[in-house]
Structure 1
Amino acid sequence: AEVEETLKRIQSHKGVIGTMVVNAEGIPIRTTLDNSTTVQYAGLLHQLTVKAKSTVRDIDPQNDLTFLRIRSKKHEIMVAPGNLAFNFICKASLYLTA
C-alpha cells in the first residue's frame, strides 16, 4: 500500500510521463508506460545502472550508487536503485522557464 501511494504521488507531479519498478534482473514489475517503451527503458536503464554501480564501487569500495539522473534536451530520467530486489525509474518532461 505504501509503494502504491508513493507511485501515485510521484505520478501526479507535473511533467511526469511515467514510472516503472523493475526487479534485480531489470524485468518490469509495475509500470505506467506502454509495453514497448517499458521493455526498452527497463533493459537499457538496467544495464546503465549496473555499470554505474560498478563504477562507483571501483572508485570507492565502501561507497554505493544511491541515485542516477539522466537529463537530455527533452526529458529527464531518474533511477533510484533500491535494495537488491527492486529499482525505481521515473521519466519526466523538462519544463524550462525563462
Structure 2
Amino acid sequence: MLEVEETLKRIASHKGITGTILTNADGIPIRSTMDPVTTLQYTSYIVPIALKAKNFTYDVDCKDSMTLLRIRSRLNEVIVVPNGEYYVIIVQKICVD
C-alpha cells in the first residue's frame, strides 16, 4: 500500500491534475485528494463505466484485459487504471493553449 501512496502523490504533483481517487474493487473510495462529495460523484459514475469496459474487453477477446480507460470532455479528462484489487481514478484539466 505504501507503493500505491507514493504513486498517487507523484501523479498528483503533475501539472493540471485536479485530483486522484483510489477505490477498492467494489468502487468504494479508500483514498482521495478531492472533497467527499466530488469523490463520491466520480466513483459512482466512473467505476460502473470502467467495469463495463473491462467486461467488454474480456468478451471481445478472453485473452485480453483492459489496462487503461480514458474519458475526455471539453474541460476534463478522467483516466482509470484498473487492478484486481482497486481502481485508480485520475482527474485532470484539459490544457488549451
- SS of aligned partner of 2:26: coil
SS at match of 2:43: helix
Is 1:36 equivalent to 2:17 in the alignment?
A: no
SS in 2 for 1:21: strand
- For 1:68 and 1:3, how far apart are their aligned partners in 2? 19
Deviation per residue, 1:6-54 (Å, 9 max, x gap): 1111101110000000001000000001111111111111100110011
1:5 aligns with 6
1:89 CA displacement: 0.3
* TM alignment of 1:43-62, pairs within 5 A: 43-62=44-63
**Matches of 2:46 and 2:82, distance apart in 1:** 11
Q: Could you list the runs of 5+ residues in structure 2 that have no partner in the other structure?
A: none
**Divergent runs of 4+, >4 A:** none
Note the C-alpha offset of 1:61: 1.0
Q: Which amino acid aligns with 1:21?
A: L
Q: Match for 2:13: what amino acid?
A: S
5+ residue gaps, structure 1: none
| Partner SS state of residue 55, structure 1 | helix
TM-score by length of 2: 0.94
**Identity over aligned pairs, percent:** 45
The count of aligned residue pairs is: 96
TM-score (normalizing by structure 1):
0.94
CA shift, 1:77, in A, is 0.4
Whole-angstrom CA distance in 2 between matches of 1:4 and 1:67 = 19
**C-alpha RMSD over aligned residues:** 0.8
